[in-house]
Amino acid sequence: MTPPSPKPETPSTPDAVFASLLQKLGEGGRTLAGPVASPKTPEALAAALFEVAARTGAALFSVWAADDSGGEDEDEDRDADGREVDADDADAREVDADDADAGEDEDRDADAGGDEDREAAGEDRDADGREVDADDAEAGEDEDRDADARDGEDRDADARDGEDRDAEAGEDEDRDADARDGEDREAAAHEGADAEAGGNATGGLKARGSDRARGDDAEARRRRESRYDAGITFFFVGADSPDRVGLLGGERVPVRQPMAYALYRSLGQALTAHAKRGADPVMPDRGSVSFPAGAADPEVEFRVSFRDDALGTWTTVLARDRETRQAFPRVASLPLTRDAAAFLTGHFNRLDRALFSGQLVLLTGESGTGRSTTLRALIDALPDNVNALAAVEEPKGGAGGAVGMVRVGPELTVAQAVRSFLRQDPDLLFADEVRTLEDMQLLCNGALTGHGAICVLEAKTPEEGFAWLTEALPGVPLRSLIVHHARDAAGALAMTLHETKPTEDGDAVRVMPWTSAG
């Protein structure tokens, strides 16, 4: 098997990463006008990324890391193949073992037969021997007496040899003791010399062992980090044609710049500090950066989202120019009471459980009262990493960032778009605007199957808007939160909240003005 080719060296310093990124942007026709300072630290690189994104018109960029374990999977496959071979070998060994057992049994049988033969021969020899002994008894007795005499002489000689050996052993022990004393004196002298020099043999061994352990840890960390991919990716979104139907902002061109994983963690920390993560207690994993810095109405405002995992901090940055900020305003900027604005913001920011328990959110009112603006404000209030899809007739402010947005019209109706959305199982559905009972029926089905459903609906009163629900699914008890839009006598826009509650007898549902729980 051909071994995998080694990974190319990736830039590991802020200035090298930045220079390579500028080169790739230039190759894509996005050269920065004017000089750009080369960042020498992660903090400087973090600030430079926002400047480059603003000056090149990037829609978003991300700083990411991923575990690239493809090589390990191949190793696992090879291990699995090896285990199969081992299993075959084991089968072969079992066969060999069976053969060996059979052979051993045959050998044992042969040994047993030999023993029987030897026992038989021994009995014959004993019988013959007894006959010989009976005939030569007197000669044997004489030989026994001579042997006893010789044994006595041998024992006396052995005793004298033992005494000689004991004497020699004593002398050897004395010499060994003297040698040990000499060695002890030499060791003491060496220890004294080590002590005078400030060295300690045991300490030196421990230090060397600690150095080896640190070296092993560093090598293990290096091998582990070599499996991780990290980089910076800029995305540029092509402009949608005015007559485009379907997904908006679908033409995204990425520019990917790899970097060493060792820089990823420090850059994540620098981005966290630069974007002031957690400055808004409602959004603790979000920060913001303005370009130019400190401007009251910046050219670009970056919304920075952070996500921590085992590899570090994954950062996603969404660019919002003045047009986008105007199209997707904050809920607090709408003509609502402070309590109502705070309730709506929290309802969508924390993804209140009622949204996924059959509650439809109706944005009612007559045409021109700001219903579509409210829908985009609710989209803006969503937290990060939520799966939301929106069907809109007149999109504004771009593609809506992280929300998938589809333009509807005669060629693609709201019902068709919502039906397609439901197959993708999103968290929330937005529709602007509902015009047929089929549109409303599909949204009701979505709400009753655990999806948040929000729609724009033309209705002069909140009650008229709720009547759409009862007509779309008669007999089904549906709950609704209604945000009604109207103009006062002076022509100024006004918004009020309403909710549906069961009547006292529980047989019907009626629309009531919303009241704060506090």
Q: Return d(Cα 71, Cα 308) in angstroms, integer.
A: 25
Asked if residues 362 and 457 have their Cβ atoms less than 8 Å apart, the reply is: yes
Per residue in 179-219, pLDDT (tens digit) is 454 444 444 444 444 444 444 444 444 555 555 555 556 55
- pTM here is 0.69
pLDDT score, position 131: 37
Structure tokens, 349: 């920011």
Lowest mean pLDDT among 70-74, 301-305, 315-319, 427-431: 70-74
pLDDT at 497: 98
Report d(CA 354, CA 160) in Å as an integer: 109
Do 61 and 234 form a contact (C-beta atoms < 8 A)? yes
Is the peptide bond prior to 292 cis by the omega test (within 30 degrees of 0)?
Answer: yes
Q: For residue 236, which amino acid is it?
A: F
Nearest to 462 by CA among 393, 383, 360: 360
417 close to 408: Cβ distance less than 8 angstroms: yes
What average pLDDT score do residues 448-472 get? 96
Q: Is the pLDDT of residue 117 over 90?
A: no
The mean pLDDT value for 14-43 works out to 94
Q: C-alpha angle 163/166/169, rounded to 5°?
A: 155
User: If residue 512 lies in a helix (H) or strand (E), which one and from where to where?
Assistant: strand 509-513
253 — pLDDT class (breaks 50, 70, 90): very high
